[in-house]
Structure 1
Amino acid sequence: MGAFNWFWKAMGAQSERNDKKSKAIVEDSAAAHSRLRELSDEEVAQLARGAVCGGEVKDKPALLACLAVAAERKLGLVPFNVQSQAVLRLLSGDVIQMATGEGKTLVGAMAATGFALTGQRVHLVTVNNYLAVRDAEWMRPLVEFFDLSVSSVTEKLAPGARREAYLADIVYAPVNELGFDVLRDNQISDRSQTVQAPAQVALVDEADSVLVDEALVPLVLAGSRPGTDPTGQITAVVARLKEDSDFRVAEDGRTVSLTEDGAAKVERELGIDSLYSEENIGAILVKVNLALHARALLIRDVHYIVVDGGLQLIDASRGRVADLQRWPDGLQAAVESKEGLEVSDGGRILDTLTLQELMRRYPRVCGMTGTAVEATDQLRQFYGLHVSVIDRNKELRRFDEADRIYATLAEKYAALVEEIAAIHATGQPVLVGTHDVAESEELAEALRARGMDPSVLNAKNDAEEARIVAEAGDIGRVTVSTQMAGRGTDIKLGGADEADHDRVAELGGLAVIGTARYRTSRLDNQLRGRAGRQGDPGLSLFFVSLEDDVVRQGGEGEELQVQPGADGRIESKRAQEFVAHCQRVTEGQLLEIHAQTWKYNQLLADQRIIIDERRAQLLDSDAAWQELEERAPQRAAELADVPLETKITAAREIMLFHLDLAWADHLELMDDVRESIHLRAIARETPIDEYHRIAVREFKELAQRAVDDAVETFQKVRIDTGGAHLDEEGLARPSATWTYMVSDNPLAGAGNSVLSSIGNIFR
């Protein structure tokens, strides 16, 4: 324990030294800034280029001063000293914590420009398309001041334009698009088809969200094949099942299972002897389970919405529509069938990549967020990143009121509506943070019934996000928002133009109200941070009930003996401590889930590196032709009249096709293994050790099988001056591919719904 304390004291001392050193450098840069005002643009740019050497920043004060001059001249923004300090810590490779409204957008652009001046390409990672485009265009004059290029990549960008965008020195892009482009580039059969140019630095905006909350979310690339309805009959049978008697949902809301009575009922209605017989377990039982998951764990307006006859998934950690994404195909089809929609095409998984794995591909990762300190353990454990806290430019004046705790959900919501009405009556603007679309719309309806006219910001209208958020601080405004709450867009008092800033400030500033505690205090603080920007006054207040998910799950097996008042409110220190305890328990559970999932993912990540190296070898040399010629010399001799380049290309296509197919089969197999690995514990085997043993054994067979299958195809496929005609053997690559994400994020649940989230239903 002494060594542990010594370690943390040493880490604290090191942080303090860095902080003092950074402030001294910033003071030097501020002095240089005033002198540089006399220089021309070209002279300032030249001085900045002279401040770097050999890919490193050699004169930090000079570089910071040059960046500050450029920001002042081209953007009309004079960086605060704390912003320059933040830039310095980013250039040192830290994750910085800066409060909302302190100017992270400018800080990120200045740091990215600093990296680019050292000759490193930077991916400035955003959380959505809107911010990628907005920030790239907003910061463009700053970047171009130094003769550097900047671009943005969004989901709607065509391959040609996307390829060109990735060649810029600084590329703003949503994290999902960066990952999907990696997956797509891993399917190419010729190097000229590559879209994404390599980058040396990932500078992550909202770093806690990307690096922690969604780090284990698998991004998936799928290939087309005809869709399969889980059959209307199965959907109808499952729809008639009764909860508790026919199926049970786990307390954490992440799994659902048939009871014996339920299984018997399904068997009777489907006319089969047993769901668990060998002939039924791989087909009918799978479809029944998918239909059951769709019915019990996936809730309309919480996990998805239906728009124009189609299903749109909600990224619950942000409250936004997850554009162009879908669940694994059987589940997608089950939900579509449940909603009476046309079942879309299915497909097989070609490749997957977690966000954590994506970030680890960059030689250097740094980031910024308003809530990094609470994620210090995860950032250090999984990325080796240090957190630097940047002081506010102006002292915080927000008042964080103690939670108001109620016995039941109904009593809590009644009090919540009363409080919003009371604050609204004064003219003070109110931002209410809800946990899902359904809750936001129900609350908005209750407020309308009280004569208010709230703006609603959720996945159904996220296109209006910037406008709604920009006006959320105006007099008399009531804004009801999901967790998206306009991250990346400041809520300014008095509206977008701050015309009534002083009047709103006199009323107390923005009042932020949470409808429930989140599973981690970091998410609570993200919501709180919407109020009190740049020294403005503000208020934050959370309403909690003992029936909230975080209390039920974190306090499972414990009971709070308190006497609520007539309105259901519980006013005692013990209740406050109990809620805080429940949240700490769920935070610990999340960290443990992250750690365990990381162990499962890491082996596949290591195996992917080997696959990537093999693909690179086949793409960048004639190794494929040499191997096939050596393994099948007679067939190679038959192709003597085919040009050598054509033969090399044909061999490459054959080898890559079977390598990619074997890898896809491996992912599918390991997914099945992970589904059942918990059964190993029954046999007193360690699940993770058994998983690793199987993964290593199967991977060895994968490599050999890929080569053997390629040789077999080489011997029979038609190869002429037009290349290898794989389609004639039914071996063509998918005619269409698409991307989606599997919700593997235990944070992505609804705070007040009886059922939290799909979470890890496939684990």
Structure 2
Amino acid sequence: MGAFGWFWKAMGAQSERNDKKSKAIVNDSAAATQSLAQLSDAEVAQHARDAVRDGAIADKSAFLAALAVASERRLGMHPFNVQSQAVLRLLEGDVIQMATGEGKTLVGAMAATGFALTGKRVHLVTVNNYLAERDAEWMRPLVEFFGLTVASVTEKLDQDSRRAAYRSDIIYAPVNELGFDVLRDNQITDRSQTVQARADVALVDEADSVLVDEALVPLVLAGNRPGEAPTGHITNVVSRLREDLDYTIAEDGRTVALTDDGAARVERELGIDSLYSEENIGTILVKVNLALHAKALLIRDIHYIVTDGKLQLIDASRGRVADLQRWPDGLQAAVEAKEGLEVSEGGRILDTVTLQELMRRYPLVCGMTGTAVEATDQLRQFYDLHVSVIDRNKELRRFDEADRIYATAEEKNKAIVEEIIAIHSTGQPVLVGTHDVAESEDLAEVLRERGIDVNVLNAKNDAEEARIVAEAGDIGRVTVSTQMAGRGTDIKLGGADEGDHDTVADLGGLAVIGTTRHRTARLDNQLRGRAGRQGDPGLSLFFVSLEDDVVRQGGEDESLSAQPGPDGRIESKRVSDFIAHCQRVTEGQLLEIHAQTWKYNQLLADQRIIIDERRAVLLDTDQAWKEFQQRAPQKAAALEALPEETRVAAAREIMLYHLDLAWADHLELMDDVRESIHLRAIARQTPIDEYHRIAVREFKQLAQRAVDQAVETFNDVLIDEDGAHLNDLGLSRPSATWTYMVSDNPLSGSGNSVMSSIGNIFR
């Protein structure tokens, strides 16, 4: 077990004790359920309330029994024992692993109801607007049975509707909407403008996706300011550059660089002496690099799509359009220029928060997912969360076939098509998981040419998601999807109504085919878990080639010899082990990126807490007025004739304006520092240490500068019965703000994206 074997053994023993204890409580609740079934609704609800003492559930068996009775009466759903066990683990603050189709929606609602009955407000965090609205309405009868309130917050709600929804006991909301409301609330100048009410618990659906995969995605609040983009001339020059001659792409497909010949060509066509001269390095070179990045690394229908003249990013982890998401302004503008689109307005970043930082604001975080075990280390390291594995209600009957490995991508893709055709000929439904839009559409086109009707689910039609997923288990159905993680709709055999369930089960159930291995085994398992729901039969099969990204990146600098068969297939345990090794390497790379990024983010997160505390004091007290009385006594004395409420509000508005401005300046500065911090290594300085040193120094200056500038404004601005006339000094807040998510790493999880040519890869 190694040096820390005692620790892991103790953790396992503790988990086992918890497991046995939970099962015993669930068994006791089954007997209590029978007696409660004779009571009225009001008596059952009171029984649940009586189980709560001193803000905690004292009688868990009685509580679970009341939930079971209420669920059966209001939803027609009787919780399985494993679901009740999952509820207990959530109430203890764990992340639970439950297989697809085991009823996580009901589990989440039951646990949220339990938290709410102890007086805690719960945010049930979903991955999209559709699931937030659907689940809130679906579970409403259960929640309201106990006299509690439930609401959903989605992007379509106006401010007043949001404010009302957040006052409920249980709020279903997408994680990005929760974050954006935090950012907007951090810009208010009067407490009455607050939208989001403080919550005690975040219960996170698809917890590994939110807490790990997308944890470092920054949510951004921006104010209006014209953006900059590469000029049309630069875009035209870069568009004519040739790979390998004028620029080279790194083996991992993440970076691109001009060659000496390429730099000379750009200089010649732009009519400048040197891209690297002092006057060009911070302007023209930056724009050239942005245009080159857009040309060489960001590929239409893989990283983004163009719809109605607008650029829309694709969420690589889910294969959907990433609503409100954009790349950092310069890169976004470069891709828009490349596509000949109108360059969208940039903006001054007013505030940002990562999903990880957002989740750490909650006093208690728990969650549920089908693949938590593989994320155990990250969940423990970054959130101090423990994982509980919940047994299946029925034994797994899915057959997981060994990978089929091919020498080349072309040979692999041909084999995928033939396998789909062979399975389809039996009537067995097939779900194919691809990595990007281009791959899904290419595969669908080839299958249609072979006479097979295909349903495609990708970022171009994700509005039809629920219907397509619900039908994927019907007889003879072939569904091609980009990323099945977090889809939130079960695939039932025999169609949405399970009318032909037994027929499909006799055919072998749903067959899941993966077109390559993902960069983490967890994402493979999310796709695989779509088959074998609730004891149904099923099949999973992954195809891999030695040219796939996960093999090239994970096996970089390693050599492998193999003898493929006539069709290119390689049947060798050594090669299979090598591919597993490559995947472990890429998983390790992702964890290291996460750890390093976390170190950069954490100091700013700590500084944000100080800003938040300062804002709260200014909003909730007359501290700003008192400070101006001390720092600008003459002006303060001249205002004594005004009503106290007017004086305090004016002082607050001035102080908050300069605090928010200073924080925005700080974020912009630290973003610039981070972009260039790698250069510190050249000077034998540790980049992260140097970054921290600069951040601490600048933050100290921020606080003093904000107050000094506020005092200057206080002395200069007109303050009368209407308050402080900041507009007269040109100090107005942005007239327009908008929210978006920054894709820090545009190429993460991009699948077979940076191969020499996309074309029609299945031919």
Fold-level match, TM-score > 0.5?
Answer: yes
8 Å CA contact retained: 2:484, 2:527: no
Q: How far did residue 393 of structure 1 move?
A: 0.4
Q: How does 1:624-635 map to 2 (within 5 A)?
A: 624-635=624-635
Q: Classify the secondary structure of the residue corresponding to 1:497.
A: coil
Q: How far did residue 728 of structure 1 move?
A: 2.0
Q: How does 1:665-744 map to 2 (within 5 A)?
A: 665-744=665-744
Q: 1:215-260: CA deviations, max 9, x gaps? A: 1111111111124342111111111111222222222222222222
Q: How does 1:392-403 map to 2 (within 5 A)?
A: 392-403=392-403
Please tell me the residue identity of whatever aligns with 2:530: R
Question: Within 1, Cα distance between the matches of 2:302 and 2:715?
Answer: 53
Question: Within 2, Cα distance between the matches of 1:234 and 1:705?
Answer: 39
Q: How does 1:40-119 map to 2 (within 5 A)?
A: 40-119=40-119
Question: Within 2, Cα distance between the matches of 1:329 and 1:234?
Answer: 17
Q: Classify the secondary structure of the residue corresponding to 1:226.
A: coil
Match of 1:385 in 2: 385
8 Å CA contact retained: 2:33, 2:69: yes
Mean alpha-carbon deviation: is it higher for 224-233 or for 575-584? 224-233
8 Å CA contact retained: 1:213, 1:747: no
Match of 1:409 in 2: 409
Q: How far did residue 755 of structure 1 move?
A: 6.3
Question: Within 1, Cα distance between the matches of 2:416 and 2:519?
Answer: 20
Match of 2:368 in 1: 368
Q: How far did residue 310 of structure 1 move?
A: 0.9
Q: 1:335-380: CA deviations, max 9, x gaps? A: 1111111111110111111111000000000000000000000001
Q: 1:299-327: CA deviations, max 9, x gaps? A: 11111111111111111111111112322
Q: Classify the secondary structure of the residue corresponding to 1:488.
A: coil
8 Å CA contact retained: 2:82, 2:390: yes
Question: Within 2, Cα distance between the matches of 1:98 and 1:287?
Answer: 48
Query: What runs of 5+ residues in structure 2 fail to find an aligned partner?
Result: 757-763
1:284 paired to 2:319: no
8 Å CA contact retained: 1:519, 1:747: no
8 Å CA contact retained: 1:466, 1:486: no
Question: Within 2, Cα distance between the matches of 1:747 and 1:583?
Answer: 17
Q: How does 1:287-306 map to 2 (within 5 A)?
A: 287-306=287-306
Question: Within 2, Cα distance between the matches of 1:247 and 1:116?
Answer: 58
Match of 2:183 in 1: 183
Q: How far did residue 747 of structure 1 move?
A: 8.1
8 Å CA contact retained: 1:469, 1:485: no
Match of 2:600 in 1: 600
Q: How far did residue 281 of structure 1 move?
A: 2.4
Match of 1:130 in 2: 130
Question: Within 2, Cα distance between the matches of 1:633 and 1:755?
Answer: 68
Q: How far did residue 745 of structure 1 move?
A: 5.2
8 Å CA contact retained: 2:681, 2:687: yes
Q: 1:257-312: CA deviations, max 9, x gaps? A: 22222222222222222222332222222222221221122111111111111111
Q: How far did residue 688 of structure 1 move?
A: 1.2
Question: Within 1, Cα distance between the matches of 2:4 and 2:755?
Answer: 39
Identical amino acids, percent of aligned pairs: 84
Mean alpha-carbon deviation: is it higher for 714-723 or for 637-646? 637-646
Q: Classify the secondary structure of the residue corresponding to 2:4.
A: helix
Distance 1:485 1:92, change over 3 A: closer
Distance 1:743 1:466, change over 3 A: same
Q: Classify the secondary structure of the residue corresponding to 1:368.
A: strand
8 Å CA contact retained: 1:458, 1:484: no
Please tell me the residue identity of whatever aligns with 1:242: R
Q: 1:662-716: CA deviations, max 9, x gaps? A: 1111111111111121222222222111111111111101101111111111122
Match of 1:147 in 2: 147
Q: How far did residue 171 of structure 1 move?
A: 0.3
Please tell me the residue identity of whatever aligns with 1:409: A
Question: Within 2, Cα distance between the matches of 1:627 and 1:394?
Answer: 66
Question: Within 2, Cα distance between the matches of 1:308 and 1:2?
Answer: 58
Q: Classify the secondary structure of the residue corresponding to 1:348.
A: strand
Match of 1:20 in 2: 20
Match of 1:347 in 2: 347
Please tell me the residue identity of whatever aligns with 1:285: L
1:194 paired to 2:194: yes
Q: How does 1:392-471 map to 2 (within 5 A)?
A: 392-471=392-471
Q: 1:111-153: CA deviations, max 9, x gaps? A: 0000000000000000111100000000000000000000001
Q: How does 1:408-557 map to 2 (within 5 A)?
A: 408-484=408-484, 487-557=487-557
Q: Classify the secondary structure of the residue corresponding to 2:325.
A: coil
Question: Within 1, Cα distance between the matches of 2:349 and 2:257?
Answer: 25
Please tell me the residue identity of whatever aligns with 2:366: C
Please tell me the residue identity of whatever aligns with 1:226: P
Distance 1:37 1:628, change over 3 A: same
Q: How far did residue 485 of structure 1 move?
A: 5.8
Question: Within 1, Cα distance between the matches of 2:50 and 2:156?
Answer: 39
Mean alpha-carbon deviation: is it higher for 656-665 or for 577-586? 656-665
The TM-score normalised by the length of structure 2 is 0.97
Match of 2:656 in 1: 656
Please tell me the residue identity of whatever aligns with 2:127: V
8 Å CA contact retained: 2:136, 2:150: yes
Question: Within 1, Cα distance between the matches of 2:498 and 2:560?
Answer: 46
Mean alpha-carbon deviation: is it higher for 173-182 or for 327-336? 327-336
Match of 2:571 in 1: 571
Q: How far did residue 3 of structure 1 move?
A: 4.1
Q: Classify the secondary structure of the residue corresponding to 1:678.
A: helix
Match of 2:760 in 1: none
Please tell me the residue identity of whatever aligns with 2:332: Q
Q: Classify the secondary structure of the residue corresponding to 1:244.
A: coil
Distance 1:259 1:490, change over 3 A: same
8 Å CA contact retained: 2:222, 2:351: yes
Match of 2:761 in 1: none
Q: Classify the secondary structure of the residue corresponding to 1:706.
A: helix
Question: Within 1, Cα distance between the matches of 2:28 and 2:201?
Answer: 26
Match of 1:761 in 2: none
Question: Within 2, Cα distance between the matches of 1:634 and 1:273?
Answer: 58
Question: Within 2, Cα distance between the matches of 1:231 and 1:297?
Answer: 19
Question: Within 2, Cα distance between the matches of 1:213 and 1:197?
Answer: 27
Please tell me the residue identity of whatever aligns with 2:602: Q
8 Å CA contact retained: 2:327, 2:746: no
Please tell me the residue identity of whatever aligns with 1:122: V
Distance 1:487 1:747, change over 3 A: farther
Mean alpha-carbon deviation: is it higher for 178-187 or for 139-148? 178-187
Q: How far did residue 643 of structure 1 move?
A: 2.6
8 Å CA contact retained: 2:303, 2:746: no
Mean alpha-carbon deviation: is it higher for 148-157 or for 707-716? 707-716
The TM-score normalised by the length of structure 1 is 0.97
Question: Within 2, Cα distance between the matches of 1:702 and 1:386?
Answer: 38
Distance 1:689 1:752, change over 3 A: same
Question: Within 1, Cα distance between the matches of 2:79 and 2:747?
Answer: 35
8 Å CA contact retained: 1:97, 1:372: yes
Please tell me the residue identity of whatever aligns with 2:483: Q
Question: Within 2, Cα distance between the matches of 1:587 and 1:659?
Answer: 41
Match of 1:759 in 2: none
Match of 1:259 in 2: 259
Mean alpha-carbon deviation: is it higher for 271-280 or for 332-341? 271-280
Q: Classify the secondary structure of the residue corresponding to 1:677.
A: helix
